[in-house]
Structure 1
Amino acid sequence: MERIVAKLLIYGDLPKDSILLNLSTVCRDLHSNNYNKEELISRVYKEVKKLLVLGTSCAFDKNLWHNYLTYLLIMDENPFSLTCEKVGSKDGSVNHFAKNDFHAYRELFNYDFSELEEKLGIDCFSCITDYRSIDKPELMYNSNVSEKVRGLSELLEKTTSDEEFFDCITDFYKRIGVGSFGLNKAFRIRECTSGEVEFTPINNMDKVVLNDLVGYEIQKKKLIDNTKAFVAGKKANNVLLFGDSGTGKSTSIKAIVNEFYGDGLRMIEIYKYQFRLLSQLIAQLKNRNYKFIIYMDDLSFEEDESDYKFLKAVIEGGVETKPDNILIYATSNRRHLIKETWRDRRDVEQDGDIHRSDTMEEKLSLANRFGVTIGYYKPSRQEFYDIVTELAARHDITMEKEELLRAADRWELNHGGISGRCAQQFINYILGQ
């Protein structure tokens, strides 16, 4: 194995503590005939445990070794894989090196662990190459990762040549993508010591779709139309969803990501204290073959905060043009995002129909940079009843309608008033009884 791993060029930049690299050093030490058997067994078991942890978290199945190698191929963001993601495989000198690496990976796919097991007296590899996971999909930590890795792994197992292996992987890169962006829908960010932004997948994202949000049909249509244009490569606008709490603003955005994920839409969630990282974030996203929504939830600024000025420049107005594959979707309880006071109107000058207020214009200018603004308002009493009734029907609640609505009235009096969120919380309460 150590000789095979040493042949890797494009895919040879393995993490120092990777399972493959550590197992290759075990094989190297074994072939040196100068080793401590118990120490080597301990090292092997440590890597097998890491393989089991990865397999459990991603719900890998059948051949964990093949699943793991496939996972490495998918996650490796190198010049070749990133080019394939963007334009597919093109004739070029780099293909020669890639095919050499894929030949090495085919050797690793077919690697015979029997020598290692016989000399060390272990049988763990026989088990992990014929592995049966717990047959409960709800235990999957991330079904997107699991389905894609297992699907590609099974295709690679069936290949009979380096060319077929090459075609399978490059087709995956073009259709799905490479690295974490290819496997996941949504991410949070954190700043690395190098100054770059690191993307952390959100593995347990809500599976909500727009049909789960009862009512607000006009609002949903505006959001869908803008997002459809965006993923189709047409001109689209930044979006601000504003209005009362509990009306489905955040739910709408999560549903949009779920529904357009197959079209290459990804979401990056960013918090207000991270706005200083926006420029670096955009620089790292602009050349990727995805459409990104930078999502800002519950966005608002107090009177003494000035971070909104930086956000204004990034959204629209800075020297650097915002890439076509990035939009900003924000939710807020405030229509204009920034706290306004009557003091802001003291410098208003009136001359006929001409009004000028520098303070007011400064504060309104941020909201004005969102090309689409969508209002989500609290439902009327009848609309609240309609939401409760629809949610009850979806969950097969058999209470008499009058009894159900009376109970909903009592619930909302003690839980923040009528809203879609309140209706859902009420239904959850009924289901829990």
Structure 2
Amino acid sequence: MIKNVFSQNSSPIELKSELNCFLISQKQTAALVLYQSVLTDRVGESWVNLLESLIYSHNNPAHCLNCLQAYGNWFKALAEINLGWQEYLITRILRDENPFSQQVQRQNFDDLPQVLLDAAAWDLRMLQGLYQLDNKWLRDCVERSASDRISSTLSDNHPPLPIVPATWSKNPSRGLKPAEIEIYTKFATAEDWVALLPDLAGYYRQCGTGIFAEYQALRWQSGELVGIKTPDPVRITDLCGYEEPKQQLIKNTEFLLAGYPALNILLYGSRGSGKSSLVKGLLNQYSDRSLRLIEVPKSELQDLPQIVEQLRDLPQKFIIFVDDLSFAEDDEAFKALKVVLEGSVTARPSNVVVYATSNRRHLVREFFADRPRPKDADEVQSWDTVQEKLSFSDRFGLTLTFEPADQETYLEIVRHLAALAQIDIPEDNLDYRALQWATRHNGRSGRTARQFIDFLTADLGN
């Protein structure tokens, strides 16, 4: 750990030591072989520029003001992501995609090539050197360099000018996911990061890397996966009613997480019955068990085979979520989903399932004109075409049905949500107002119950 804080009257020997520290840090930054992308974002680039400015200003005092701008850019970049320098480095290591972090997810640590392990150990040693740089020392170096230059242009009677603000710092545990806190603590307290290589490998196998380490919920958008920063916080325990299909969905998801064969599921039923919320609630219940949810819009279902191939052989488990599913005739998405559900020459990955919701029992629209008549001469085996359309939903391994809510089910949902919202009014009054709401609005359903409770919460709060 660099602990020296040089004063404005630093001796030539101290200045030389200071310059050597900058040069060593610059070499450590340049010497990375696997973890190069750790420092390729805005924070990393501003860090490299700061080192270059500090080194350059030692040899060219007239350019020392560049250090102020470089330090400001680095400070701002850290503030924008709300991370301190040390936390930033560890977080980037935990999420970095490189040959080591990718291969260790697919094979045992002891089976990795020794040269790959040596390269990972080398990079951890270099990054630990950067981690040990004291922020306050860096700030003082910048301030001393700039203040010397500015002071020389001022009169002796001019008061000293504040040059550099305080160092950017942040509570290290704030903002980290539960799975990250344990490994972060080990890095923050370890004397030698190389000894943590097996722990780091275990973290990669459990939590993944890159976008899968940073996000639990993702969306397929314009040909790529995009992380969802604020996924729906709904939880399984928030949802009431439909206990039988709920338990079947939970059991199938637990099969997936345990590594057993799991079925693709179609959740079919009336609108507002909580089908989508139930699927999203699975993520909040099982995200600590390496579950990821990927939402794919109907307009991009033709990319499903491509998505599945990206997920194959990863240690995480994936639910591909398709909401409000239905198809028109000759829809390309229809063919793509058939390939994923039924398989092709390529084996179906064991870590991926498709959960789709629909208000239609028959997902492909059929018209009376589609049905064959003796006088028609368009297609000899036209009944086969009709049956293919009608049986598409059968290609899901399991179909869960959500019937329209009767009055008692609707009131049960209302009472459950009212208890969660801590609404304290007599039950008969609650039931009466809930039934009035359903009559005047969208009928009896879980969605209507949620809307009623949201309105009642706000109304009682006024």
Same fold (TM over 0.5): yes
Secondary structure of the residue aligned to 1:267 is strand
The unaligned stretches of length 5 or more in structure 1 are: 138-142, 192-196, 350-354
Q: How does 1:156-175 map to 2 (within 5 A)?
A: 156-175=187-206
Q: Indicate conservation of the 8 Å contact 2:264/2:355, yes or no.
A: yes
Secondary structure of the residue aligned to 1:204 is coil
Query: Of 70, 78, 86, which aligns to 1:51?
Result: 78
Is 1:30 the counterpart of 2:70 in the alignment?
no
Amino acid at match of 1:339: R
- What is the match of residue 98 of structure 2? 78
Is 1:12 the counterpart of 2:43 in the alignment?
no
Is 1:264 the counterpart of 2:304 in the alignment?
no
Measure, in 2, the Cα distance between the counterparts of 1:132 and 1:236.
41
**1:333-375 Cα shifts (integer Å, max 9, x gaps):** 00121222333333599xxxxx982232121242121001001
What is the Cα deviation at residue 147 of structure 1? 4.4
Amino acid at match of 1:53: E
Amino acid at match of 1:96: D
Q: Indicate conservation of the 8 Å contact 1:240/1:330, yes or no.
A: yes
Q: Indicate conservation of the 8 Å contact 2:246/2:278, yes or no.
A: yes
Is 1:21 the counterpart of 2:45 in the alignment?
yes
Q: Aligned pair in 2 of structure 1 residues 306, 104: CA closer, same or farther (>3 Å)?
A: closer
Amino acid at match of 1:107: G
What is the Cα deviation at residue 315 of structure 1? 2.2
Give the superposed CA RMSD: 2.5
- What is the match of residue 168 of structure 2? 128
Q: How does 1:382-421 map to 2 (within 5 A)?
A: 382-421=408-447
What is the Cα deviation at residue 98 of structure 1? 0.7
Q: How does 1:109-188 map to 2 (within 5 A)?
A: 109-113=131-135, 114-115=137-138, 116-117=141-142, 118-120=144-146, 123-124=164-165, 127-129=167-169, 131=170, 145-188=176-219
Q: Indicate conservation of the 8 Å contact 1:5/1:21, yes or no.
A: no
What is the Cα deviation at residue 393 of structure 1? 2.3
What is the Cα deviation at residue 380 of structure 1? 0.7
Is 1:40 the counterpart of 2:67 in the alignment?
yes
Measure, in 2, the Cα distance between the counterparts of 1:393 and 1:255.
19
Q: Percent identical across equivalent pairs?
A: 31
Measure, in 2, the Cα distance between the counterparts of 1:166 and 1:123.
37
Q: How does 1:280-291 map to 2 (within 5 A)?
A: 280-291=306-317
Q: TM-score, normalised by structure 1?
A: 0.86
The unaligned stretches of length 5 or more in structure 2 are: 1-24, 148-162, 376-380
Query: Of 307, 321, 325, which aligns to 2:347?
Result: 321
Secondary structure of the residue aligned to 2:294 is strand
Measure, in 1, the Cα distance between the counterparts of 2:179 and 2:343.
40
Measure, in 1, the Cα distance between the counterparts of 2:259 and 2:373.
44
State which drifts further: 2-11 or 392-401: 392-401
Measure, in 2, the Cα distance between the counterparts of 1:15 and 1:278.
33
Greater Rg over alpha carbons, structure? 2
Amino acid at match of 1:43: A
Q: Aligned pair in 2 of structure 1 residues 123, 84: CA closer, same or farther (>3 Å)?
A: farther
**1:388-409 Cα shifts (integer Å, max 9, x gaps):** 1222223222222222111111
What is the Cα deviation at residue 14 of structure 1? 4.8
Q: How does 1:270-349 map to 2 (within 5 A)?
A: 270-303=296-329, 305-347=331-373
- Give the total of aligned pairs: 406
Secondary structure of the residue aligned to 1:188 is strand
Amino acid at match of 2:419: A
Q: Aligned pair in 2 of structure 1 residues 295, 255: CA closer, same or farther (>3 Å)?
A: same
Amino acid at match of 1:103: R
What is the Cα deviation at residue 329 of structure 1? 0.7
Is 1:66 the counterpart of 2:103 in the alignment?
no
State which drifts further: 166-175 or 406-415: 166-175
Secondary structure of the residue aligned to 1:278 is helix
Q: How does 1:370-389 map to 2 (within 5 A)?
A: 370-389=396-415
Measure, in 2, the Cα distance between the counterparts of 1:305 and 1:93.
49
Amino acid at match of 1:263: R
What is the Cα deviation at residue 241 of structure 1? 0.3
- What is the match of residue 352 of structure 1? none
Measure, in 1, the Cα distance between the counterparts of 2:289 and 2:38.
30
Secondary structure of the residue aligned to 1:160 is coil
Amino acid at match of 2:99: P
Query: Of 249, 254, 261, which aligns to 1:235?
Result: 261
